[in-house]
Structure formats: structure tokens, C-alpha cells
A and B are shown apart, each in its own frame.
Chain A
Amino acid sequence: MNIASRVIHIIIGLLIIAGAVIMMLLPEIGYLVIALVIAVSLLVSGIRSLVYYFSMSRHMVGGRDALYSGLVKVDFAILTLSLSDIPKIFVMLYLVAVFGMTGLLHVLRGLEARKKNAPSWYWRFFSGMIYLMVALFCLIFVKNTVVMVFAYSIGLIFMGAGKVASAFYRSKIVYIQ
């Protein structure tokens, strides 16, 4: 990882932690900020996929997946942006579902890495399990939105701290004659 990537990881991690703190301080509206950040991220990612499709991948074998991926991301971004007018519980459920999916992906990637004897498998697996547990906890307290927001925020802090920590992962090459 070069310096620029490390800085980006740190910034993203701190933004996630800041979002979590905002949610804990303002549990009544903080979730909307998170929803907005997710929506904007999805929108930017979706537009990038669409630009990639029209400029590059439409010329490649199987390149349409960039088009489908872009359309789905933009669709979800619009869906997320439209969630402000519906009851808070649904917004939180949506956020928890996103969190749970992230956890599931981490667990699956960790298991895949384990099959290949990759040394980093346990971190992926461990973090994925934490996300899944937070998502499960949120679902258990689905009727108490304040507890749910706090649980979700703790999960976010864990995610942000992991992002920051990954920026300090040693990746320099030591050459021994």
C-alpha cells in the first residue's frame, strides 16, 4: 500500500467513526446522515461503473456486468435517498441490512482466503462476524430505535477503526540475501 492509499484509508476510517459519533449524539436524525453518505457513495460508484462501461468495458467480452452493476448501484442510491420520508424503523432496517450484507461478504471472503491459506483470513472472518452480530443485535432491538442506533454506531466505530488500522499494515518488502 503506498502513502496515498494509506491516507485515503485513514480519511475513510475517520469519516466512518465521525458518522457513528454523530448518530450516537443525535440518534433522532443521525441515521439520515449515514443514509445520505451511503446513497452518495452508491451514486458515485454507480456512475463510475456506467462511465467505465461506456468508455471501456462495452468493448470487452462479458463487459456488460459493469453496466448492470452501475444500474443497480444507481438504483439503490436513489432508493436510499428516497428513504427520508418514511418511518425511521424502515431506514434503520435498511442500514442494518446493508451492514449485515457487508458482514456476510467479509465472512465469505475470509473463508475463501482460509481455503487458500492466506494469512489474513482470520481478520476478515473476525470482522465479518462482528458486523453480523451487530446486525443481529439491531434486529433483536428493532422496536427500540435508540438502542438500535447505538448498536449500529458501535459497529460503525469498529469498522472505521479497522479501516484506520489497515492503513498502518506493514507491507514493505524486506530483502534478505
Chain B
Amino acid sequence: MNKDFHYFGTYSAAVLAGYGHEEALAIARSAFFVDLCTKPILNSVGAPVEAATTMLAMEMADAGSDALSQQDITRIWASFHFLPGDLYSKRAGCGKKYMQKYHLICKPNGDLLVDTVNQVKGKGLEATGLAMHVLADTWAHQNFAGTPSRVINDTNYYFYEILPDGSERPIRFGSNPAAPDNVEKGTYTNSVHQSSETSIMNLGHGRAGHLPDYSFIRYKYLPAWADYEECIKDNQSDFMQAYCQMIYAMKYLRGETDTFEKETYDTEAIAPYKTKIEHILSKRQTDACEDWKDFGENLTNQSIPDFSSADYQEEYRNAPEDKKDDTPMGRFVIAALAQKSMVTNRIYKSGNLLAGISGDYKKWGTKGIRAYLKLVEAAQKGGQA
């Protein structure tokens, strides 16, 4: 998913969940900022770099294949873009090393999604936006893992688009990052094949290019981990599910329902707009920003300004030291630290060290990463340490 769904789409979902224009904007900004918040940005404003929710291409190219670098990558991508679906899934005949990777495969409706949504309840609009990004990505990025792994994330030549009339055509991939995806010709860019298990080229859905991020496309392929079982990915349907689940989750976060249940979707809220939303999702385009923007503006009769990351950062940078945590970016940073901390902890507790070691603050005190002291301070303010 790209800016179209994470920013403009999330805005309209928030409105349908009952939020006002300004609140929906705050949620949408935070949801989209997950795709922008890199260590260099955090470093430039003096925020803890451990709150990074994504990486620059240059950062990834620079990352090593040593365990610590791999854990750093995994913490970011598994926490925010490829939330593991089942950390305790079973598969016969596979060793521990393989299963550690297998357990990080992203799926919708996992226990970690419930934890993610529950964790942000009462934590503000930025935390809500961050959680909505994570939720939406569990649909788009399913079947890939947020850790560099060839045995999980690799793909091969078997890739076919299923066109609206039911016919099929092969999808051709090139590895020139400068070449734009061509929807009409069916040519897309993916990451270069690398036989190394831990190559950054084998992170997430890199080997499938941006196909998982386009709402219109239906395709079939062979996931590396699926034992030659063909996977048919219907993005239009998945994005609709994601949208309805976001509305349901945000209604829960607003206090309309008492619990957040898995596999529950608010189809009633979208009923009056279903045709319009289906039209946006099915339109053959790589950028649906304009359509989602129109839809959102028609819902509220308000203009949706484009998101300015610079303004977001500037407000944080200019705030006095004791007020930084009260800025939108300050609240985002705390929400990001909380999400990363929670997901790393769950992965670690499942006996999996791919995201690193998670220490319980009550037991170990501040022997962990110092940047997480900010999270401790925030929790202490809220009486949760």
C-alpha cells in the first residue's frame, strides 16, 4: 500500500468510523508517516533513532548481513509493515532455523494485530494512525516476512496477472529501479535475485515488486514457502477487507465497541459508498491518490491538504525539550517505540531471536537500549511502567 491508501484512504476510513475532519487528518498523517520515518529523519530532529519505522534504500544497501543488522532490519519491518500472523504456527519436518523465519510470515487477523490495536487504545490519534498502517499492511503484505529471507520471500518466473475478463498473462519483472511499472504492458520492477539467504534483496515483498501495493491487481504466483502451492492474490478484495477492518478498529478505539475481535469488518459503514470504493480499488493505476482524495473530500466537504513531512518534523524540532512529546511527531515516536517494543517482545518470547532480545523493564531496568527510556517515561506518565 502506498500514500493513496495509507493517507487518503485512512482519512476516509477514519471519517466513516466517526472521527471529525481534523482528527481524521491527524490519524492519516501518522498512518502515512510510518512510510517516511527513517533514522536520518529522527536523527535530524533529535528524536531517538530506535523509533524508525522504515529504512531508506541507501540504509538497506548499507546494512550488513551480521546478526545485529538483521535484527535491526527485522524489528522495523516486522513491527510496522509485515506483522507476523502466527508466531507459533506448525510445519512438519522443518528445523528450528527455518521455522524462525516461517513464523514471521505476515498474515491478517493474527494475535499480534489484536495486541497492536489494543495497545493504542487511549493513546491518541497518532498511535491510532500508526496502528492503522500496520493493520492495512497485514492485508497487502501477507505471505511475505519482514526479515531478509530467501526461503520465505523469494519468487520465481511463475507470475501471472488475472485480468478482469478472467484471462491470464505473464508478469515480466525487470530490476531497473528507474523504470516505472507499466500496468498496460504488465512489466514491473522487482529486487534482483540473490541466492544469499540474508540478502536485503530478499526482504519483504521486494521479489514481487510493488504488486502487493496496487489495489487493482489480481495475480497468482508460487510463494517460496508454500511447497509449490499456487497462491492467488486478489488485492481488490484484500484492500476492501483492510478498509472495513480499519473502520471497525477505529470505532473500537473511539469507544463504540468494548472489544476488538479478529475477522470482524464494518461492512455497514461502507454500504452507501461501496460502489465508489470498489471503483477506486479496481481502477488500473499505480497511484490512486486523486480518487481517494476526492472520495474523502466528498465525505466531509473539507479539503484534504497534502502531507508535509517537513512541517511534521519542524514542529517537533522547534518545540521546547519538555514539550516535544506533546507534538504530533513526539506522540508518533512514542507510539512507534511502543509498537516496536511490543512486537520484538512477542517474537522473543516465542523463542525467536530474529528481532533481537527483549528485556522486561520491571526485571532488567534500563539495561536495554537507552532510547527506550522515552517509552518508559511515557508509560510512567500514564502509570503503566
Contacts and interface: CB of A to CB of B under 8 A. Distances in A.
B197 A61 contact: no
A111 B69 CA distance: 30
Contact of A116 (B58, B154, B175): B175
A117 B225 contact: no
Interface stretch (A76-84, A96-104, A169-177): A169-177
A106 to B, nearest CB: 16
Interface stretch (B93-101, B109-117, B259-267, B360-368): B93-101
A81 B107 CA distance: 49
Contacts of B62: 1-2, 171-173
A60 B310 CA distance: 43
Nearest to A63: B151
A52 B195 CA distance: 11
B195 A66 contact: yes
A173 B95 contact: no
A89 B105 CA distance: 53
B226 interface: yes
A59 B225 contact: yes
B271 interface: no
A57 B226 CA distance: 12
Contact of A2 (B43, B64, B95, B98): B64
Interface in A42-83: 52, 55-57, 59-63, 65-66, 69
Interface residues on B, range: 35 or more
B176 to A, nearest CB: 5
Interface residues on A, range: 20 to 34
B176 A116 contact: yes
B98 A5 contact: no
Nearest to A57: B151
A65 B95 contact: no
Contacts of B66: 2, 4-5
B375 to A, nearest CB: 24
A169 B69 CA distance: 19
Chief secondary structure at chain A's binding surface: loop
Contacts of A171: 58, 61-62
Given A63-B151, A175-B43, A52 B58 contact: no
Given A1-B62, A173-B56, A59 B151 contact: yes
Contacts of A66: 195
A2 B65 CA distance: 9
Contact of A59 (B40, B56, B98, B195): B98
Contacts of A69: 195
Contacts of B97: 55-56
A143 interface: no
Interface string A143-177: 00000000000000000000000000001110101
A61 B156 contact: yes
B378 interface: no
B41 interface: yes
Contact of A60 (B44, B61, B150): B150
Contacts of B228: 61
Contacts of B61: 171
Contacts of B41: 175
B171 interface: no
A4 to B, nearest CB: 6
Contacts of B156: 61-62
Nearest to B156: A62
Contact of B151 (A56, A116, A175): A56
Interface string B173-198: 00111100000000000000001010
B227 interface: yes
Nearest to B196: A52
11 contacts: A4-B66, A59-B91, A59-B151, A61-B154, A61-B223, A62-B156, A69-B195, A115-B176, A116-B177, A175-B41, A177-B44
Interface of B: 40-41, 43-44, 56, 58-59, 61-66, 69, 91, 93-95, 97-98, 101, 150-152, 154, 156, 175-178, 195, 197, 222-228, 310
Given A1-B64, A5-B65, A59-B94, 18 more contacts: A2-B64, A56-B97, A56-B151, A56-B197, A57-B150, A60-B154, A61-B156, A61-B223, A62-B154, A62-B224, A63-B224, A65-B195, A116-B176, A171-B61, A173-B40, A173-B58, A175-B41, A177-B44
